[in-house]
Chain A
Amino acid sequence: MKKEGNILLEVKNLSVIYDNQTQALKDVSLQIIEGQIVGIIGPNGAGKSTLIKAMINLISHKGQAFLNDQPIHKQLKNLSYVEQKSNIDTTFPIKVLDCVILGIYPKLKPWQLPGKKEKEMAVKALNKVDMLGYENRQIGELSGGQFQRVLIARTLVQETDLILLDEPFVGVDITSENIIIDLLKELAQAGKIILIVHHDLSKISKYFNSIILINKHLIEFGSVENVFTAENLKQTFGTDVFIPSESRDRND
């Protein structure tokens, strides 16, 4: 149960069915305590993104997710979701700073426009992801890694307990990747729960404290040491999987 000051994310029997036919996700139940970076791992079509979207009510589902003992739809202001950046139209007329300020919108009233205070918050966030100086660039001018950092900055200003990221390390350069993962670790230290849909099997131990192995249903969930085994991976991916050697390295 919920300890004093602990954030608890609870998923109860989450199922998703598309078009009354295809079962995309079956009966997933989990409990995640505070201060974790959790990786969601599985083959293509396993329902990784589906899991997150169902959790936060973006698609219709059976079962429920709870944050801090409350159903998720009552806690939307307390979570932030960063979708796959390829889904975002970067030709849209919006500058970097304004993009970050979008994260503050949920805190503002409908007719309230962001002012000096909000701008300062956004600049601070950009500083944390090392993107100072890019405030007035249109987002289409950024590289993949730079844009991902901007999206992270946007998440920072939201100041939420739960952060969900969908494939944040795809098409991202090494510098950006390191900046991002350091920041996420900082957030986890501060007690946030971070869920990341990961696109492959690289750097698992570097990034994550625990992992969720999923293939349309929950296969296993737990700490990286316990769960990230050849046996489990074979069950998840259906075949013998080649694990890139770097993920066997201890991270320092």
Chain B
Amino acid sequence: MFLFLQKAGIEMINQFINELFQFNFLQRALVTSVVIGIICGVIGCFIVLRSLALMGDAISHAVLPGVAISYMMGVNFFYGAVLFGIMAALSIGFVNQNSKIKSDSAIGIVFSAFLALGVLLVTKAQSSIDLTEILFGNVLTVKEQDRTLTFIVAAIVLIIVIVFYKEFLLSTFDPTMAAASGLPTKFIHYTIMVLLTLVTVASLQTVGVILVVSLLITPASTAYLLTKRLSTMILVSAFIGAISSIIGLFFSFTFNLPSGVVIVLVITAIFAITFFLAPRTGVLWRAIKH
């Protein structure tokens, strides 16, 4: 039985590789997904360590009105989405700092408002917008323009994170010492918000608005359980993002399933395995040790 599965598995993988060579659109989908998996993994580490997971979720939903307006104006969805994502981040910050509303409430208030506005605009604009694609993504039909934008975003994100790694590390780990030694912590926070928005919008293509948060948080959280250094955490997280995209696309192509949701399930499976079996931190591991 096991031998049979093994043989079938190898055959499917061969088929997948053959199809990769055969179909251009598969290659492009793969490259796009992997790049998105990597940048989500990288930024996701800062989101997780700064407890901004809810914020990440909020921004991914808040971009909807931006996408709708872009379509209505005939502009690439990217620009509208980034604009509204940043507006949402600023609004949340504003509510936070100018009232006693707690931060998770502020997030809920702002993003639900943006989301509702977005749905309203989409239904009004009707025929030209495919809501399913925005909500769930479809990496198979990504336009060339959007792919280029994704690569530009990837380059920006990676360069900034590498060059300012120390500053990001210090301000994330010990914001008090960072401020005391003169680092512009507020500016760093808003830079990360902008990078988060860019990455979120780029990821809409693969997994859509609803599931972006998975790509941002789960690989990073998995890496968190496995590493003792931030630099390693970032590398592991990016790796998990990339490999999940590849495995997810493999299953999607082989069994004719929508790619975005399969990628999310693969990421979750990797997290679950790590959760139980990771050395030191895994639940089962610790149980066995005792």
In the complex they form, do A and B come into direct contact, defined as C-beta atoms under 8 angstroms apart? yes
Q: A residues touching B (Cβ–Cβ < 8 Å)?
A: 56, 58, 76-77, 79-83, 87-89, 92-95, 98, 102, 105-106, 108, 110-114, 136, 138, 158
B74 at the interface (CB under 8 A from A): no
| Chain B residues whose CB sits within 8 angstroms of the CB of A95 once the complex forms | 228-229
| Chain A residues whose CB sits within 8 angstroms of the CB of B170 once the complex forms | 102, 105
Alpha-carbon distance A130/B163, docked complex (angstroms): 33
Interface hub of B163, B164, B229 (most chain A Cβ within 10 A): B229
| Chain B contact residues, majority secondary structure | helix
What are 29 A-B residue pairs whose CB atoms fall within 8 Å in the complex?
A56-B180, A58-B179, A76-B180, A76-B181, A77-B182, A79-B180, A80-B181, A81-B176, A81-B177, A83-B174, A83-B176, A88-B174, A89-B49, A92-B173, A92-B230, A93-B227, A93-B230, A93-B233, A94-B169, A94-B230, A95-B228, A98-B229, A102-B170, A102-B173, A102-B174, A105-B181, A110-B167, A111-B163, A113-B165
Asked if residues A58 and B180 are in contact (CB atoms below 8 Å), the reply is yes
Chain B 216-255, CB-CB to A under 8 Å as 1, else 0, gives 0000000010011110110000000000000000000000
| Chain B residues whose CB sits within 8 angstroms of the CB of A113 once the complex forms | 165-166
| Chain B residues whose CB sits within 8 angstroms of the CB of A88 once the complex forms | 173-174
| Chain B residues whose CB sits within 8 angstroms of the CB of A87 once the complex forms | 176
Please give the distance in Å from A28's CB to the nearest CB on chain B.
Answer: 19
Asked if residues B174 and A93 are in contact (CB atoms below 8 Å), the reply is no
| Chain A residues whose CB sits within 8 angstroms of the CB of B224 once the complex forms | 93
Asked if residues B228 and A77 are in contact (CB atoms below 8 Å), the reply is no
Interface hub of A80, A88, A92 (most chain B Cβ within 10 A): A92
Asked if residues A106 and B182 are in contact (CB atoms below 8 Å), the reply is yes
Alpha-carbon distance A73/B227, docked complex (angstroms): 37
Asked if residues A94 and B163 are in contact (CB atoms below 8 Å), the reply is no
Shortest Cβ distance from A164 into B: residue: B180
Shortest Cβ distance from A98 into B: residue: B229
Alpha-carbon distance A108/B164, docked complex (angstroms): 12
| Chain B residues whose CB sits within 8 angstroms of the CB of A110 once the complex forms | 163-164, 166-167
Shortest Cβ distance from B224 into A: residue: A93
Shortest Cβ distance from A89 into B: residue: B173
Alpha-carbon distance A112/B166, docked complex (angstroms): 9
Asked if residues A105 and B228 are in contact (CB atoms below 8 Å), the reply is no
Asked if residues A92 and B180 are in contact (CB atoms below 8 Å), the reply is no
Chain B interface size band reads 20 to 34
Asked if residues B176 and A58 are in contact (CB atoms below 8 Å), the reply is yes
Shortest Cβ distance from A109 into B: residue: B166
Interface hub of A77, A92, A93, A138 (most chain B Cβ within 10 A): A93
| Chain B residues whose CB sits within 8 angstroms of the CB of A79 once the complex forms | 180
Please give the distance in Å from B99's CB to the nearest CB on chain A.
Answer: 11
| Chain A residues whose CB sits within 8 angstroms of the CB of B227 once the complex forms | 93
Asked if residues A102 and B180 are in contact (CB atoms below 8 Å), the reply is no
| Chain A residues whose CB sits within 8 angstroms of the CB of B181 once the complex forms | 76-77, 80, 105-106, 158
Given the known interface contacts A77-B181, A79-B180, the answer about A94 and B229 at a Cβ–Cβ threshold of 8 Å is: yes
Alpha-carbon distance A82/B232, docked complex (angstroms): 26
The A-contacting residues of B in range 152-194, CB under 8 angstroms, are 163-167, 169-170, 172-174, 176-177, 179-182
- Give the 7 A-B residue pairs with the shortest CB-CB distance, closest first: A76-B182, A81-B180, A138-B228, A106-B181, A83-B176, A93-B233, A92-B173
Alpha-carbon distance A58/B227, docked complex (angstroms): 32
Asked if residues A105 and B173 are in contact (CB atoms below 8 Å), the reply is no
| Chain B residues whose CB sits within 8 angstroms of the CB of A82 once the complex forms | 177
| Chain A residues whose CB sits within 8 angstroms of the CB of B174 once the complex forms | 83, 88, 102
Alpha-carbon distance A93/B280, docked complex (angstroms): 14
Alpha-carbon distance A158/B181, docked complex (angstroms): 10
Contact of B232 among A93, A106, A108, A112 (CB under 8 A): A93
Alpha-carbon distance A83/B180, docked complex (angstroms): 10
Alpha-carbon distance A95/B230, docked complex (angstroms): 9
| Chain B residues whose CB sits within 8 angstroms of the CB of A114 once the complex forms | 166
Alpha-carbon distance A92/B173, docked complex (angstroms): 7
Shortest Cβ distance from B176 into A: residue: A83
Given the known interface contacts A106-B182, A110-B166, the answer about A83 and B177 at a Cβ–Cβ threshold of 8 Å is: yes
Shortest Cβ distance from A106 into B: residue: B181
Asked if residues B49 and A92 are in contact (CB atoms below 8 Å), the reply is yes
Contacts A92-B172, A93-B232, A106-B181 aside, 18 further interface pairs with beta carbons under 8 A come to: A77-B182, A80-B180, A83-B174, A89-B173, A92-B173, A92-B230, A93-B229, A94-B169, A95-B228, A102-B170, A106-B182, A110-B163, A110-B164, A110-B166, A110-B167, A112-B166, A113-B165, A113-B166
The A-contacting residues of B in range 133-169, CB under 8 angstroms, are 163-167, 169
Shortest Cβ distance from A91 into B: residue: B224
Shortest Cβ distance from A108 into B: residue: B166
Alpha-carbon distance A144/B129, docked complex (angstroms): 57
Alpha-carbon distance A102/B164, docked complex (angstroms): 14
